[in-house]
Chain A
Amino acid sequence: MADTPKPEELSKIDHAPPLMEGWMDVPAEIRPGIYCYGAKAKNLAAVGMPNARDWNPADEDWKLPDNWEQIVEEGMKDRLDKYRSFKLFMDICVRCGACADKCHFFIGSGDPKNMPVMRAELLRSVYRKKFTAAGKILGKIAGARKLTEEVLKEWWTYLYQCTECRRCSVFCPYGIDMAEITIMGRELTNLLGLNIDWIAGPVANCNRTGNHLGIQPHAYKDMIDFFVDEIEEVTGIRVEPDLNRKGAEILFVTPSGDVFADPGTYTAMGYLMLFHYLKSQGLDITWSTYASEGGNFGFFTSHEMAKRLNAKMYAEAKRLGVKWILGGECGHMWRVVHQYMNTWNGPADFLEEPVSPITGTKFETATGTKMVHIIEFTADLMRNNRLKLDPSRNDNLIVTFHDSCNTSRGMGFLEEPRYVIKNVCNNFYEMPPNTIREQTFCCGSGSGLNAGEDMELRMRGGLPRANAVKHVHEKYGVNMLSCICALDRAVLPTSLGYWVPEVAVTGVHEMVANALVFEGEKERTTNLRGEPLPGMEEEE
């Protein structure tokens, strides 16, 4: 986190706004390639969101309710009263500009309204006009402006060009969390039915069917069965996963993306193999076809929606009667669990404090939520020498690690993934210090912006991350970018496909499974992707 600024540093702050003159008079342009499609009526109606109608952001008419301005004003007032952080963040910014050049969208696009300070200013200007005396009286001189339809469109344009990654907040001397401002801004747009469909669709699906894509239980099971066959082909071992088994000790919940899209599927196979390996050591775990989504796009909609979707995982844990929940490699799922779950749906007192049945380690940080990230679980197994590993099986990989925004800045998982990676592969190189750990750059497509229609935006946002990957590729020959987030696995192959096509993407547990030595396994000649293992090229 940001160091507390010393008085002499604070006194040096230039109070002149670093912002472009006359920015209020430059309207936002809704350009193809940058914006995401508007939420469909059916997806908003399915979860009772207001103003459900089909609309197109590129049209002049956004089909707003007649009293839209009143709705926004009341919504803003309600949130200023409810969330002290929002009120504080609206008031305390001195526009020092420390955050200005830290946003991947600003760095990649060069659009000044993507400077975090500027993005916040879009909201603050309206806040001043409506809620501060100076703004009401002095107007523009006090940085205040009226809320017009044009301003609303500008809000929408830039609120959906922020991935809520919080890199800017690391550099803010006041600790202003820009993500919180975007979250509030997006809540306000949702009061008018102005979500994007790439978020609204998954939310509606998740609410009804249990996952983003609307995959039904039988299809989910079918996919797991397919993995079981694939694993047997590679290892000769037939893993026997449980689904929806009541009375299991642990419920496993993971993002559905890993079950249905490559390369996440190999990470899902990795989980299956690890669980099978640990069965004889006492692991009693079940998957669920109902809590079949770790991700939570409700978090990109409103707190209420995020709470609803988060509650589903816990309802399933209760139904199955498990003691605690183990979660797969995911990013925002963990921000939700770690920072919000306890307030929304806690305490989960029908569950027990998570204890590893293999090592006896108590996961004290999860005492409140009763939910443990698998990277922590696996790191603990390795620390206690419970896994027989052959890292040379990953010798064809020269690996670097992308810290996901949510697990690094949101949870502090900085060492665990690195510890696990170093145990399962011999060639590991870090990217430059100002692009990893707390200062990591976002994948460029987080917070529900991983649609297809905004591909240009995603490439801009992905540039700073890819630029660092390119550096380690050129310097050390890195050919694999590892991560512990399903969204990263879904979007980084595309971003790297544009910027550094020589580098592929993997989940950490895919590498774990490849290195894991089972008793009675056949001689392995390929990895989970069917590629020959180092030294086995001839056999293929």
Chain B
Amino acid sequence: MSLKNLLSDNRSSIIKKWRDIVISTYPIDTQRFLKKEKDRFSNPVGQTIAEDLEILYDQLTSDNDTDKIARSLDNIVRIRAVQDFKPSQAVGFVFALKRLIKKELGSDLKADDLRDQIESLDERIDNAALMALDIYSQCRQRIYELRVIETTNQVSRLLERANLKIEIPEL
């Protein structure tokens, strides 16, 4: 059996366990809510995790569309970048997929002819993790940028009106 088939046969159970791993990074009392509430407007964090992990799984294990991978990673990491996580915790969920697949498929992966396919999957997951790191870094930078923009916006009109600054007029 090819790795692709194995991953597809075990799709729902692996995705569910992957989701459990991500949810388990939140406090126990929050986990219940994140899993239970299915309305995406009442529970944007839980539903984003549920929906985008599914997309990520499909893309990483079969379709490999980089744009879709980036978009789903962005959806999840953008949230985790402002929550109580260290950088490693915020993006670590991507690596967790590697361990999870090996644990779940166990002996099925031992066949020699799968080695290349496993290596290639590992590489895709590693790349996704690096993308997640880039996104995390951009998110943090964006927060600082927004803080500067907001501060500038609060005072710039005043400086101008108080004749403390006069800009070169438009041509």
Residues of A participating in the B interface, judged by any CB pair closer than 8 Å:
18-20, 31, 33, 100-101, 106-112, 115, 213, 215, 219, 222-223, 226, 260-262, 265, 432, 434-435, 452, 455-456, 459-460, 463-464, 467-468, 471, 490, 493-494, 497-499
Residues of B close to A110: CB separation below 8 A: 26-27, 30, 34, 45, 83-84
Q: Closest chain A residue to B28 by CB distance? A: A20
CB distance from A500 to the nearest CB of B (A): 11
User: B166 interface residue, CB < 8 Å from A?
Assistant: no
Residues of B close to A213: CB separation below 8 A: 154, 158
B149, A494: Cβ atoms closer than 8 Å: yes
Interface residue from A265, A456, A467 paired with B41 (Cβ < 8 Å): A467
Give residues of chain B (114-171) contacting chain A, Cβ–Cβ below 8 Å.
139, 142-143, 146-147, 149-151, 153-154, 157-158, 161-162
User: B5 interface residue, CB < 8 Å from A?
Assistant: no
Interface residue from A19, A222, A499 paired with B161 (Cβ < 8 Å): A222
Give residues of chain B (25-41) contacting chain A, Cβ–Cβ below 8 Å.
26-30, 33-34, 37, 39-41
- With A101-B43, A112-B29 as contacts: A265 and B143 at CB distance below 8 Å: no
Residues of A close to B157: CB separation below 8 A: 223, 260-262, 265
CB distance from A463 to the nearest CB of B (A): 6
Residues of A close to B153: CB separation below 8 A: 261-262
CB distance from A25 to the nearest CB of B (A): 14
A463, B44: Cβ atoms closer than 8 Å: yes
Residues of B close to A101: CB separation below 8 A: 33, 37, 42-43
Give residues of chain B (75-133) contacting chain A, Cβ–Cβ below 8 Å.
78-79, 82-84
CB distance from B32 to the nearest CB of A (A): 8
- With A101-B33, A215-B158, A494-B149 as contacts: A468 and B41 at CB distance below 8 Å: yes
Docked pose: A265 CA to B26 CA in angstroms: 41
A459, B151: Cβ atoms closer than 8 Å: no
Residues of A close to B28: CB separation below 8 A: 20
Residues of A close to B150: CB separation below 8 A: 452, 490, 493-494
Docked pose: A460 CA to B85 CA in angstroms: 13
Docked pose: A455 CA to B150 CA in angstroms: 11
What are 8 contact pairs spanning A and B, CB under 8 A? A20-B27, A20-B29, A107-B43, A108-B45, A262-B153, A456-B82, A494-B150, A498-B139
Docked pose: A110 CA to B28 CA in angstroms: 10
List the 4 closest pairs (A to B, CB-CB), nearest first: A112-B29, A467-B44, A459-B82, A20-B29
Residues of A close to B143: CB separation below 8 A: 33, 455-456, 459, 498
Residues of A close to B154: CB separation below 8 A: 213, 260-261, 490
Docked pose: A262 CA to B146 CA in angstroms: 14
Residues of B close to A467: CB separation below 8 A: 40-41, 44
- With A20-B28, A223-B157 as contacts: A432 and B41 at CB distance below 8 Å: yes
Docked pose: A265 CA to B160 CA in angstroms: 14
Q: Closest chain A residue to B47 by CB distance? A: A467
Interface residue from A215, A464, A498 paired with B142 (Cβ < 8 Å): A498
Residues of A close to B83: CB separation below 8 A: 108-110, 460
Docked pose: A107 CA to B146 CA in angstroms: 22
CB distance from A216 to the nearest CB of B (A): 10
Residue from A110, A459, A463 having most chain B Cβ neighbours under 10 A = A110
Residues of B close to A33: CB separation below 8 A: 82, 143
A19, B29: Cβ atoms closer than 8 Å: yes
Docked pose: A435 CA to B42 CA in angstroms: 8
Residues of B close to A106: CB separation below 8 A: 30
B147, A107: Cβ atoms closer than 8 Å: no
A497, B33: Cβ atoms closer than 8 Å: no
Residue from A19, A456, A468, A490 having most chain B Cβ neighbours under 10 A = A456
Docked pose: A18 CA to B79 CA in angstroms: 25
A435, B41: Cβ atoms closer than 8 Å: yes
B161, A107: Cβ atoms closer than 8 Å: no
Residues of B close to A432: CB separation below 8 A: 41
- With A31-B84, A215-B158, A260-B154 as contacts: A471 and B33 at CB distance below 8 Å: no
Docked pose: A115 CA to B28 CA in angstroms: 13
Residues of A close to B43: CB separation below 8 A: 101, 107
- With A109-B84, A460-B83, A494-B146 as contacts: A219 and B162 at CB distance below 8 Å: yes
Q: Closest chain A residue to B80 by CB distance? A: A110
Q: Closest chain B residue to A468 by CB distance? A: B41
CB distance from A219 to the nearest CB of B (A): 6
Residues of B close to A100: CB separation below 8 A: 33
CB distance from B1 to the nearest CB of A (A): 38
Residues of B close to A464: CB separation below 8 A: 41, 44
B41, A471: Cβ atoms closer than 8 Å: yes
Give residues of chain B (46-83) contacting chain A, Cβ–Cβ below 8 Å.
78-79, 82-83
B30, A112: Cβ atoms closer than 8 Å: yes
CB distance from B171 to the nearest CB of A (A): 14
B30, A111: Cβ atoms closer than 8 Å: yes
B161, A223: Cβ atoms closer than 8 Å: yes
Residues of B close to A111: CB separation below 8 A: 27, 30, 84
Residues of B close to A463: CB separation below 8 A: 44-45, 79, 82
Residues of A close to B147: CB separation below 8 A: 452, 455
A219, B158: Cβ atoms closer than 8 Å: yes
Q: Closest chain B residue to A18 by CB distance? A: B29
Docked pose: A499 CA to B75 CA in angstroms: 9
B44, A497: Cβ atoms closer than 8 Å: no
Docked pose: A262 CA to B160 CA in angstroms: 13
Docked pose: A215 CA to B157 CA in angstroms: 12
CB distance from B101 to the nearest CB of A (A): 26
CB distance from B67 to the nearest CB of A (A): 15
Residues of B close to A494: CB separation below 8 A: 146, 149-150
Docked pose: A100 CA to B36 CA in angstroms: 13
CB distance from A436 to the nearest CB of B (A): 10
Residues of B close to A112: CB separation below 8 A: 27, 29-30
- With A20-B29, A101-B33 as contacts: A497 and B41 at CB distance below 8 Å: no
